Chains A and B, each alone.
Chain A
Amino acid sequence: MTREHIIVCQFDENLLGRLHKKRLVVNTSADANIPHICQFVNNNQNNLHCIVIHQNNTLASTPFHENWRGIPIAVFADQMGSFKEIMQKMRLIRDLNIRIFLNTDFKENFTNIHILASLGIDCGVFFGENNLDWEALNDLMTYSVYSKAHHATIEPFHFIINNYNPTRTTDFSSVYFNNPYTYLHIDSEENIAITKNDLIEGKYIASGINLIPDISENEKYKEALHSWQEFFLQENGCAFCQAWRVCMGKFSTSIKDNPGCSKFFVDMMEAADYFLSVQHKNKRKELWQP
């Protein structure tokens, strides 16, 4: 079965020039010329799925601009920075096709995301390297799912509740462009990897953009699709956890030092069930119309 993968790469005009008729996620830095990237991608018969801005400075220092309107953008920033500066740009940010991700390594970001979402900015957490504050994450999830107040979406909770099927697994790695069913990562040398980290660490599944159309026949790719089964070969691993079907072992390496994932994802599943029941309750029957 051939899958049309979305290709994730750096903004490299040379590489992009070699890609045709692909949907692309382009990684870049905050000082890049965003409209130029958008134009360049589309002029090469590719389709822009999203530009990912990796902001090494604070979110507040991001040069949001009127000419970003309509361009799908994700900003990944470690910290928010000055609230006042953000507020000055609030109207513009709200009008952009943008989702803002903040790092869980900084405790204040749980509140920052809470603030941004309550002001109508779609946002999310991205998981850092330090021990995660599961309680804070749970509070944010509770707000995201249960709050009746108007607010924007918060990832990955929004993805989970919208893609949740109680009788299936829900893999939220798509939120971070790391789901091999949807995304492939390539570098300038055309090395192909399943995740961004794999690409950085040189764990390639193939090399050459000409291999992308048939990647589903690639043995390493097939292995990656079933890598979740490794958990079922461990005697006491994540496969024994009731929340596995929405977590799929993403925090298995940190569970010893930072337990709490199970409780969080159990609550996440409850929230997803709740969301589903509300949707079901609100579903209107399609009545004939005169």
Chain B
Amino acid sequence: MATIIFKPTEKCNSNCIYCDVVTRKKPKTMSLDLLEHIFKNIDEYLKSKPKEHIQLIWHGGEPLLLGEDYFLKAIEFQEKYCPETKNRIDHAIQSNLTLLNENYLKIFRSMGINQIGTSFEPLPNMRGPGPNRDSAFYNSRFMKGINMLEKNNFGWGFIYVVTKKSLERPLDIFFYLSNLKPTGGFMLNPVLIYGNDKHDIAMTQEEYADFLGAIFPYWWKHRDRYPHVNPFKMFVENIIENKRTTGCEDTGNCAYGHVYLGPNGEASQCGRAGDWDIISYGNIKERSLIEIMQDKQREQFIERNNILLQGECKNCPIWEFCHGGCPLDSYIKNKNFMHRTNRCEGKKLFLEKYFLPITGARL
């Protein structure tokens, strides 16, 4: 399945501390003409690959700022231009839920969406509108959003971005998040900073490992209570249960699987690459999706696997579920993709210091 990180708008109603897209860029929104053009391209792509599916992940900014009509138009374009391929288009959406209403949910249902990805932050003034990030306002709207989801039987999961400010109270934060969503269903992802750390929120790899390590013993003991907390669940599956489950950054096969389409039709490897203008596959106005998906630049990600396996990652016991990590991490440090992630150290530290001794597992 090919994944399109689809960002029809960069506008957002929140000023999250760890996101600089809104301030760095002049936020743009995709025109309906371009939206129409994209659905034509999707149809063309799927027709060229009769067994392929496309997952279209609506991203932002905050996609709900597009308005209900925008999504209705998307449905209309899909019906109009993809009559034979529409069943191979799977929609998904990432939203902060603060603008959610019942109409949106009806629209999403008709698009085949039955769960929504989001993110949340219990610490004050980290997420929210305005220069001071009014988290009280934001969080109360967020709660209304999840109530609406649950009432309408939508699933939801969320990402918690671990920052330097999280380090003082890892377990408290874990309890809060797991109380908010008792099954777990959330990820504890490290903050990713590209450029200046204006808000002093970046962490060292060791700090992130220790953050996870402060939670892990409790989680391991009570994992039946919180079955879906990552990265713990992912490590358990890969190391103990010998299943291969990874996030996109660790698959080692994102080369031909992902594409980012921005509000002006600009194409890149993925959302992160698009946000940071790291790699360009041209513009869908000028190139077809088929061409973009076959861009020569993608070969370097395949080549990267070979280089790492013979070099930096040679004999690495976690290669099978790491693959050197996200190539963009390498780019941040080295200005090329041919090195392993700079998060490798933190990952291994967590495994050696916490995961392996506590679980008794071996690599």
Direct contact of A and B (CB under 8 A): yes
Contact for B143 among A226, A240, A269, CB less than 8 A: A226
Identify the closest chain B residue to A276 (Cβ).
B224
Question: Within the assembled complex, what's the spacing in Å between the Cα atoms of A111 and B253?
Answer: 65
Min CB distance A194 to B, Å, is 17
Determine the chain A residues whose CB is within 8 A of the CB of B285 once the complex forms.
Answer: none
Count of chain A residues near B, Cβ 8 A: 17
Min CB distance B113 to A, Å, is 21
Determine the chain B residues whose CB is within 8 A of the CB of A241 once the complex forms.
Answer: 175, 179
Determine the chain A residues whose CB is within 8 A of the CB of B173 once the complex forms.
Answer: 240
| B246 is an interface residue with CB less than 8 A from chain A | no
| A256 is an interface residue with CB less than 8 A from chain B | no
Identify the closest chain A residue to B180 (Cβ).
A232
Q: Are A232 and B122 in contact, with the CB atoms below 8 A?
A: yes
Q: Are A240 and B175 in contact, with the CB atoms below 8 A?
A: yes
Q: Are B176 and A233 in contact, with the CB atoms below 8 A?
A: no
| B117 is an interface residue with CB less than 8 A from chain A | no
Question: Within the assembled complex, what's the spacing in Å between the Cα atoms of A240 and B169?
Answer: 10
Min CB distance A127 to B, Å, is 22
| A174 is an interface residue with CB less than 8 A from chain B | no
| B129 is an interface residue with CB less than 8 A from chain A | no
Q: Are A240 and B172 in contact, with the CB atoms below 8 A?
A: yes
- Which bracket fits the contact residues of B? 20 to 34
When A226-B147, A233-B136, A240-B172 are in contact, do A166 and B179 touch as well, CB less than 8 Å? no
| B155 is an interface residue with CB less than 8 A from chain A | no
Annotate A68-90 by CB proximity to B: 1 below 8 A, 0 otherwise.
00000000000000000000000
Determine the chain A residues whose CB is within 8 A of the CB of B143 once the complex forms.
Answer: 226, 229, 232-233
Q: Are A167 and B226 in contact, with the CB atoms below 8 A?
A: yes
Determine the chain A residues whose CB is within 8 A of the CB of B124 once the complex forms.
Answer: 235
Determine the chain A residues whose CB is within 8 A of the CB of B147 once the complex forms.
Answer: 226, 229
Q: Are B179 and A239 in contact, with the CB atoms below 8 A?
A: yes
| B183 is an interface residue with CB less than 8 A from chain A | yes
Annotate B200-220 by CB proximity to A: 1 below 8 A, 0 otherwise.
000000000000000000100
Identify the closest chain A residue to B175 (Cβ).
A242
Determine the chain B residues whose CB is within 8 A of the CB of A245 once the complex forms.
Answer: 179, 182
Identify the closest chain A residue to B185 (Cβ).
A167
| A18 is an interface residue with CB less than 8 A from chain B | no
Identify the closest chain B residue to A226 (Cβ).
B147
Question: Within the assembled complex, what's the spacing in Å between the Cα atoms of A245 and B169?
Answer: 19
Interface centre among A167, A233, A239, A245 (most CB of B within 10 A): A167
Q: Are A233 and B140 in contact, with the CB atoms below 8 A?
A: yes
Min CB distance A3 to B, Å, is 13
Annotate B159-182 by CB proximity to A: 1 below 8 A, 0 otherwise.
000000000010111011001101
| A105 is an interface residue with CB less than 8 A from chain B | no
Determine the chain A residues whose CB is within 8 A of the CB of B225 once the complex forms.
Answer: 166-167, 269, 273
Determine the chain A residues whose CB is within 8 A of the CB of B226 once the complex forms.
Answer: 167
Q: Are A169 and B140 in contact, with the CB atoms below 8 A?
A: no
Min CB distance B8 to A, Å, is 31
| A244 is an interface residue with CB less than 8 A from chain B | yes
Which residues in chain B, 226-257, are within 8 Å of chain A measured between CB atoms? Answer: 226-227
Q: Are B179 and A167 in contact, with the CB atoms below 8 A?
A: no
Question: Within the assembled complex, what's the spacing in Å between the Cα atoms of A251 and B169?
Answer: 23
Min CB distance B216 to A, Å, is 15
Q: Are A273 and B139 in contact, with the CB atoms below 8 A?
A: no
Min CB distance B234 to A, Å, is 18
CB<8 Å pairs between A and B, sample of 13: A167-B184, A167-B224, A169-B179, A232-B139, A232-B143, A232-B179, A239-B175, A239-B180, A240-B172, A241-B179, A242-B171, A245-B179, A273-B224
Give chain B's interface residues, CB within 8 Å of chain A.
122, 124, 136, 139-140, 143, 147, 169, 171-173, 175-176, 179-180, 182-184, 218, 222, 224-227
